[in-house]
Structure 1
Amino acid sequence: MLDSTRLQQISEETNFNALLNSYCREFSNWSRYVGIPKYDAPLANYLFTTTDRLHIRFDFSSIGFEVYAPLKFYADSGRHVFNFPVIERNIATDAINPISIYRFMELAIQFSAEEFPNANTKIINERLTNSVENMEAFLSYFKQNGKPVNFPKMSFIEAEQSLFLGHNAHPLPKGRAGFNSKDELFKFSPETQGKFQLAYFLIAGDNITEKNAEGFDITDLFRIELLDSGNADLIALLDQHPNHKIVPMHPWEADYLLTLPTVQAMEDEKLLFYLGCFGELYTPTSSVRTVYNAASDWMLKFSLHVKITNSQRVNLVRELHRGYDVSKLLKTEYGKAAKAEFPEIEFITDPAFITVNYQGETIDGFNISIRHNPFKGEDAGKNVSLLAALCQDGLPGQKPRIVHIIEEASINKNKTVAHTAVNWFKQYLHLCVAPIVGLYNNFGMAFEFHQQNVMLELDKDFYPAKFYFRDNQGYFFSDAKAEALEAVYPGIAAESGSIVPNEYIIPKLTYYLLINNILGVVNALASNGLADEKTLIDLVYLEFKQFENSDTTGLVDYIINRRSWEVKGNLLTNLCNIDEASAPIDNPAIYREFPNPLSKYFFSKNLIKPKSNEVLYSRFFPKENITINIRPFNIDRDLEMVHDWFNQEHAKPIWKMDGPIKGLELFYRTLLPNDASHSFIGEINGEPTFTIEPYWPMRDGVGACYEALMTDYGAHLLIAPTDKDKKFSFETGQALMDFIFEQPEVGKCIGEAAVESRAMHIFVTRLGFKLEKVIQMPYKMANLTFCYRDWYWDKFPEAKAYAMMKTAQFETEEI
Structure 2
Amino acid sequence: MDAPACAATAAQAASLQALLNTYLREMAPGSAVLADDRSTVEIPLSHIPARLRVRITYFSATGPHRFGPAQILFDGSSTWHSAPPVQVLTLIAQECFTRLNSRDAGQLPEFLRGLFNSNAGIEQNLIRHAGTPEPDGFLAAEQALTFGHWLHPTPKSRDGLTTWQQAAYAPEYAGEFRLTFFAADQSLVTLGSAHQAPADMLRQIPGLDGAFRLRPDEVMIPAHPLQAQMLRLDPQVQALLATGRLRDLGEAGCAFNATSSLRTLYAPGCRWMLKFSVPVRLTNSLRVTKHNELETGVLMARLLKHLDADGPRFRILNDPAYLTLTLPGRSESGFEVIFRENPFAGTDGTGIYNLAALTADPLPGRTALLTRLIQQLAADHGETPADTARLWFEAYLTCMLDPVLDLYDRHGIALEAHQQNSLLDLSTGLPSRGYYRDNQGYFIAQDALPRLNALEPSLTQQPALVYPRAHINERMAYYLVVNQIFAVIRRLGCDGLAPEPDLLLQLRRRLTTAASRLSGAGADFARYLLTAPALSAKANLLTRARNVDELETEAQEGLFLQMPNPIAAAQPQPVQERTDVLT
Superposition TM-score, scaled by structure 1 size: 0.66
Change (3 A) 1:598 1:230: closer
Q: Which residue of 1 aligns with 2:174?
A: 193
Secondary structure (helix, strand or coil) at the match of 1:198 reads strand
Q: Is the 8 A contact 1:33 1:54 kept in 2?
A: yes
**C-alpha separation in 2, matches of 1:112 and 1:169:** 20
Q: Quick one: distance in 2 between partners of 1:402 and 1:114?
A: 42
Tell me the distance in 2 between the aligned counterparts of 1:528 and 1:224. 44
Corresponding position: 1:450 with 2:425: no
Give distance in 1, aligned partners of 2:205 and 2:304.
28
Aligned equivalents of 2:208 and 2:402: distance in 1?
47
Hey, what's the Cα distance between the residues in 2 that align with 1:545 and 1:69? 38
User: Residues of 2 paired with 1:576 and 1:566: CA distance?
Assistant: 19
Report if the CA contact (8 A) 1:355-1:362 is conserved. Answer: no
* Aligned-residue CA RMSD (Å): 2.4
Deviation, 1:265, is: 2.7
Given that residues 223 and 245 in structure 1 are in contact (C-alpha distance below 8 angstroms), is that contact kept between their aligned partners in structure 2? no
Counterpart residue number, 1:781: none
Report deviation, 1:76. Answer: 0.5
Q: Residues 255 and 33 from structure 1, CA distance in 2 versus in 1: closer, same or farther, beyond 3 angstroms? A: same
Alpha carbons 2:208, 2:252 under 8 Å: kept:
no
User: Does structure 2 retain, via aligned residues, the 8 Å contact 1:356–1:362?
Assistant: no
Distance in 2 between the 1:33 and 1:61 partners? 20
**Cα separation, 2, equivalents of 1:418 and 1:172:** 34
Q: 2:439 aligns with which of 427, 450, 472?
A: 472
Q: Which runs of 5+ in 1 are unaligned?
A: 36-52, 605-743, 745-815
Q: Is the 8 A contact 1:138 1:191 kept in 2?
A: yes
Query: Are the structure 2 counterparts of residues 91 and 243 from structure 1 closer, same or farther at C-alpha, using a change threshold of 3 Å?
Result: farther
Q: In structure 2, what is the equivalent of residue 413 of structure 1?
A: 381
Q: Which residue of 2 aligns with 1:709?
A: none
Q: How big is the shift at 1:343?
A: 3.2
Q: 2:581 matched to which residue of 1?
A: none
Whether the aligned pair in 2 keeps the contact of 1:188 and 1:284 (CA below 8 Å) is: yes
Where relative contact order (Cα < 8 A, 6+ residues apart) is larger, the structure is 2
- Give the AA of the match of 1:107: Q
- TM-superposed CA distance for 1:310, in Å, is 2.0
- The answer (yes or no) to whether the contact 1:198–1:281 under 8 Å persists in 2 is yes
Letter in 1 for 2:75: I
State the AA in 2 paired with 1:185: Q
Give the distance between the partners of 1:189 and 1:76, measured in 2 at CA: 33
1:126 matched to 2:128: no
Cα deviation for residue 391 of structure 1 reads: 0.2
Hey, what's the Cα distance between the residues in 2 that align with 1:61 and 1:424?
Answer: 46
The answer to whether the 8 A contact 1:116-1:576 is kept is no
Q: Does 1:307 align with 2:275?
A: no
Matches within 5 A, 1:381-780: 382-460=350-428, 462-495=429-462, 497-549=464-516, 550-553=518-521, 554-580=524-550, 582-587=551-556, 589-602=558-571
Question: Aligned pair 1:109/2:96, yes or no?
Answer: yes
* 2:33 paired residue number: 31
For 1:258-295, what per-residue CA distance to the aligned partner results, in whole angstroms no more than 9, with x for missing partners? 22222223223333222222221101011111110010
- String of CA shifts for 1:597-642, please: whole Å, max 9, x gaps: 11232399xxxxxxxxxxxxxxxxxxxxxxxxxxxxxxxxxxxxxx
Given that 1:266 and 1:358 are in contact with CA atoms closer than 8 Å, whether structure 2 keeps it comes out as no
Cα deviations by residue, 1:479-502 (Å, 9 ceiling, x for unpaired): 111111011111224146322221
2: distance between equivalents of 1:225 and 1:162? 25
**How far off its partner does 1:587 sit?**
3.4
Judged with a 3 Å threshold, the aligned counterparts in structure 2 of structure 1 residues 133 and 162 are, in CA distance, closer, same or farther, namely same
TM-aligned CA distance change 1:273 to 1:122, over 3 Å: farther
2:580 maps to which residue? none
**Kept in 2: contact 1:223–1:246 (CA 8 A):** no
Question: How far 1:103 moved relative to its partner?
Answer: 1.3
Letter in 2 for 1:89: L
Q: 1:343 aligns with which of 305, 308, 312?
A: 312
Please tell me whether the aligned partners of residues 164 and 191 of structure 1 are also in contact (alpha carbons under 8 angstroms).
yes
CA contact (8 A) 1:15 1:171 kept: yes
Q: Counterpart in 2 of 1:83?
A: 68
Q: What's the counterpart of residue 58 of structure 2?
A: 73
User: Which residue is equivalent to 1:644?
Assistant: none
Question: Could you say which residue in structure 1 is the equivalent of 2:126?
Answer: 139
Structure 2 distance, partners of 1:215, 1:223, is: 12
State the identity %: 30
- Could you say if the C-alpha distance between residues 63 and 268 of structure 1 is closer, same or farther in structure 2, counting changes exceeding 3 Å? same
For the 8 Å contact 1:162–1:191, the answer to whether it is kept is yes
Q: Distance in 1 between matches of 2:317 and 2:390?
A: 29
For the residue of structure 1 that corresponds to 2:440, the secondary structure is helix
Any unmatched runs of 5+ in structure 2? 575-583
The alignment status of 1:289 with 2:263, answered yes or no, reads yes
Q: Indicate how the Cα distance of structure 1 residues 92 and 207 shifts in structure 2: closer, same or farther if over 3 A, else same.
A: farther
Determine helix, strand or coil for the equivalent of 2:481: helix
Tell me which amino acid in the other structure corresponds to 1:10.
A
Count of residue correspondences: 566
Q: What is residue 654 of structure 1 aligned with on the other side?
A: none
- For normalisation by structure 2, the TM-score amounts to 0.92
Per-residue CA deviation, residues 118-174 of structure 1 (Å, 9 max, x unaligned), is 97112211111111111111211223xx22225xxx121111111112221222221
Offset at residue 89 of structure 1 (A): 2.7
**Which moves more between the two structures, 583-592 or 568-577?**
583-592
Bigger Rg, structure 1 or 2: 1
Aligned-partner residue type, residue 91 of structure 1: D
Tell me if structure 2 keeps the 8 A contact 1:388–1:452. Answer: yes
Which residue of structure 1 lines up, in the alignment, with residue 195 of structure 2?
A: 214
**1: CA distance, partners of 2:313 / 2:22:** 32
One-letter identity of the residue aligned with 2:305: K
Runs of 4+ residues over 6 Å off in structure 1: 115-119, 223-227
Q: Rate the CA distance shift 1:259–1:387 in 2: closer, same or farther, 3 A.
A: same
**Which among 294, 309, 314 is matched to residue 320 of structure 1?**
294
CA distance in 2, matches of 1:105, 1:313: 28
Contact 2:193 2:321 in 1 (8 A): yes
Match of 2:158 among 166, 176, 195: 176
The answer to whether the 8 Å contact 2:352/2:427 transfers is no
Q: 2:230 aligns with which of 249, 256, 269?
A: 256
- Render the CA deviation track for 1:731-776: whole Å, top value 9, x for unaligned: xxxxxxxxxxxxx9xxxxxxxxxxxxxxxxxxxxxxxxxxxxxxxx
**Residues 159-215 of structure 1: CA deviation (Å, up to 9, x unaligned):** 11111122212222211221112x211110111111111011122222221101123
- Given candidates 178, 186, 199, the residue that maps to 1:205 is 186
